[in-house]
Amino acid sequence: MSKISHYIYIFILSVIVIAAFSTITFYGLSYYSLGIEDRFFHPDHLTLKPSGVLGHGLGIIGSFLMLIGVSFYMLRKRVRALIRLGILKHWLEFHIFLCSLGPILVLFHTSFKFGGLVAISFWSMVAVFLSGIIGRFIYIQIPRTIEGRELSLNEVREMKSDIGDTIRKLVALDDESYNVIVESTKKKVELYHPNFLVRYVRKYKDDSQTIRNVKTVLRRNKITKPQQKQVLDLVKSDISLNRKIERLVIMQNLFKYWHVAHLPFAILMLVIMIIHVAVTIVFGYRWIF
Can you tell me the distance from the alpha carbon of 265 to that of 99, in angstroms, rounded to the nearest whole number?
13
Confidence of residue 148 (pLDDT cuts 50, 70, 90): low
* Digit-coded pLDDT (tens) for 24-47: 999 988 998 888 888 888 999 889
Secondary structure letter of residue 227 according to DSSP: H
Using CB atoms within 10 Å of the CB of residue 108, give its burial: 0 to 12 exposed, 13 to 18 middle, 19+ buried. Answer: buried
CA-closest candidate to residue 112, choices 49, 63, 66: 49
Segment among 118-132, 160-174, 210-224 with least mean pLDDT: 160-174
pLDDT of residue 15: 95
Q: What is the pTM of this model?
A: 0.65
Supply the pLDDT for residue 146: 47
Mean of pLDDT values over 273-281? 82
Write down the pLDDT at residue 226: 83
CB 20 within 8 A of CB 104: yes
Closest CA to 241 of 163, 137, 147: 163
